[in-house]
Amino acid sequence: MTWEAWLTIGVVVFVLAALWRNWAQPDIIMAGALTLLMAAGMISGSPRLPDPREAVAGFGNAGPITVGVLFIVVQGLVRTGATERLTRPFLGLPKTPLGAQGRMILPVTTLSAFLNNTPIVAMFMPVMTDWARKTGISPSRLFIPLSYASIFGGICTLIGTSTNLVIAGMVLADDTLPAVGMFDIALIGLPCAAVGIVYLLLVGRWLLPDRKPALSLGTDPRQYTVEMIVEPDGPLVGKTIEQAGLRHLPGLYLAEIDRDGAVLPAVAPDRRLDTGDRLVFVGIVESVVDLRKIRGLAPATDQVFKLAAGPTGRCLVEAVVSRDCPLLGQSIREGRFRSVYDAVVVAVARHGERLQQKIGDIELQAGDTLLLETSREFADRQRNSRDFYLVSALDGSAPMRHERAPMALAILVAMVATVTVGWLNMLTAAMLAAGLMLITRCCTGNEARQSVDWRVLVVIGAALGVGRAMQTSGAADGMARSLIGLAGERPWLVLAAVYAVTTLFTELITNNAAAVLVYPIAVASARTLGVNPMAFVFCIMVAASASFATPIGYQTNLMVYGPGGYRFSDYLRIGLPLNLLMLAVAVGLAPLIWPF
């Protein structure tokens, strides 16, 4: 290999070491590696006059742009509560990490076999976050299995991943090879997926990290008292407290129910809810925000409907009452709080005490922390006011738009259907879906902008640039030929080497680039040995998608990297044995199905 190839390999090794040691955030590391390769002229041009267009082409690639647009689509689903409607019927509310993984893995694997796995993961991520918050299960126990399950499904059908379609297209261009059918890859894909699922469920409990976020009712002095009312003809009427999901809310407990003036304390889990029940909760602010997202519950006060700002222009704000507030000593109702501040008090926290009065009857004291529903401009207007010591808006606290959930689901189904039948590519369909989410007000423009995780897009775009450097410098081709050459003329060993090289390249660059690089070398090796090339073809399909050992090998791994709170070593610890299992199953079965 040339010195350019060795330099590129050195940079890639540095990237892996930096990710392993957590020297910096992944987006910083990948962007730094791309910058070094650009400065050295490894991607295109020369060190003196490098042409940056090829190096940064990954940022204009359909992959990261699609992921970015899908963030907006998912935001529309989240803000309307559509994700809960879509997933709750078959996911339920598990009580253990194993139960959560079991309920999630099979549906995600099945869906990913027929749909692009990127939107599947994007759609399930907020559901996993909600699960983790409600059940106390660590997010790190859920997000890697989510990504891996989508990969398992992708290797079971021709349309499961774009890699399978790329390889099928290359096979179709070769007149000497038979065309690849829809379920041909399932002959080895299904056994690989089954082994992977069993591995996750049996071994995952020891290999997955358990990093629980700090969320405890007893450690936060701001224990709010908040009243909610069961909406007439809503989905919670007739359900028990347990069935309604109101029993195991983290950092929040149901103190009592006020039913037609009769107070029901010490609420039992089998108590059924009735129309107009006033539920009194006590808990921390994060849980109060989550409580207001539950379909079928509404604030007990009717004052929110009198606010000047519409539902899409409102949010929750925390404000601490100062000694100079003109409403001190008056109840919230007597002081006409809404009229004075154009804000409605939905909860009050007072030094960790349980406030017995209804919200409107609470007399304000200095130091009271109020949770207000108001316009987005309230925080700016009152930030320097003498009436409050502290004013801060809460992220993601806008009222849910449950009435638009059917529209959001219809948009999602239309996006998936048009891609599945081949009318539109994934990027075009996602852009249309995102536009419809905005037009139909399933999410606002501000929410759409805030939903995009730019760090993920930087990592994907930079990784594509680094992968391009592996190709143009000759590093990838040199490594492939050297490793396959070590296997000699023994077909099984050559097949294992092809699989291993493809997996290695998938972990270091991208799955499509890995498949395209290794495919011609693999087919040529099979013909030289005089064996059936189709065993090599399908092993490449599996190896190019079965990326488990690094977060940068597959974009779904990158998507869950941050939300799961993972480190690079987490992927290596659980993913490397899984890579080896996949290699053993695929290489062991392929020559039996497509005999040499």
Mean pLDDT, rounded, for 36-62: 67
pLDDT at 454 > cutoff 60: yes
Look at residue 217 in the predicted model and tell me its pLDDT. Answer: 43
Contact call for residues 99 and 204 (beta carbons, < 8 A): no
Look at residue 253 in the predicted model and tell me its pLDDT. Answer: 75
Comparing CA positions, the residue from 558, 456, 467 lying closest to residue 506 is: 467
Contact call for residues 430 and 68 (beta carbons, < 8 A): no
What is the DSSP-derived secondary structure letter of residue 167? H
pLDDT tens digits for 218-253? 445 567 777 888 888 888 888 888 878 777 676 777
Please state the domain extents for the chain. 11-44+59-210+456-593, 217-283+296-393
Q: Which amino acid is at 259?
A: R
Mean pLDDT, rounded, for 179-208: 90
Mean model confidence pLDDT for the chain: 80
Mean pLDDT, rounded, for 83-92: 69
Mean pLDDT, rounded, for 504-523: 75
pLDDT tens digits for 101-131? 888 898 889 888 876 677 778 778 877 887 7
DSSP string for 185-204: THHHHHHHHHHHHHHHHHHH
Contact call for residues 200 and 105 (beta carbons, < 8 A): yes
The widest CA-to-CA distance across the chain, in whole angstroms, is 92
Mean pLDDT, rounded, for 581-586: 95
Q: Which parts of 22-175 fold into alpha helices (H)?
A: 26-39, 52-55, 62-79, 82-91, 97-114, 117-135, 143-154, 162-172
Mean pLDDT, rounded, for 383-410: 82
Higher pLDDT residue, 359 or 448?
Answer: 448
CA distance 580 to 228: 53
Comparing CA positions, the residue from 294, 168, 297 lying closest to residue 229 is: 297
pLDDT at 369 > cutoff 70: yes
Per-residue burial over 405-429, b = 16 or more CB atoms within 10 Å of its CB, e = otherwise: bebbbebbeebbebbeeeebebbbb
Residue 420 in tokens: 């599945």
Contact call for residues 241 and 256 (beta carbons, < 8 A): no
Look at residue 582 in the predicted model and tell me its pLDDT. Answer: 94
How much is the pTM?
0.64
Look at residue 436 in the predicted model and tell me its pLDDT. Answer: 95
Mean pLDDT, rounded, for 69-94: 76
pLDDT tens digits for 487-498? 776 888 889 988
CB count in 10 Å sphere of residue 53: 11
Dihedral of alpha carbons 579, 141, 558, 80, sign: positive
Residue 323 in tokens: 């000694």
CA distance 200 to 149: 9
Mean pLDDT, rounded, for 388-401: 77
pLDDT tens digits for 296-354? 887 776 655 556 555 666 788 888 898 888 988 888 888 888 888 888 888 888 876 76
Q: Which class is domain 217-283+296-393? A: alpha beta
Comparing CA positions, the residue from 157, 149, 140 lying closest to residue 106 is: 149
CA distance 430 to 150: 18
Comparing CA positions, the residue from 2, 31, 6, 5 lying closest to residue 18 is: 31
Look at residue 128 in the predicted model and tell me its pLDDT. Answer: 82
CA distance 68 to 431: 10
DSSP string for 239-256: -BTTTTT-SS-TTEEEEE
Residue 497 in tokens: 């080497």
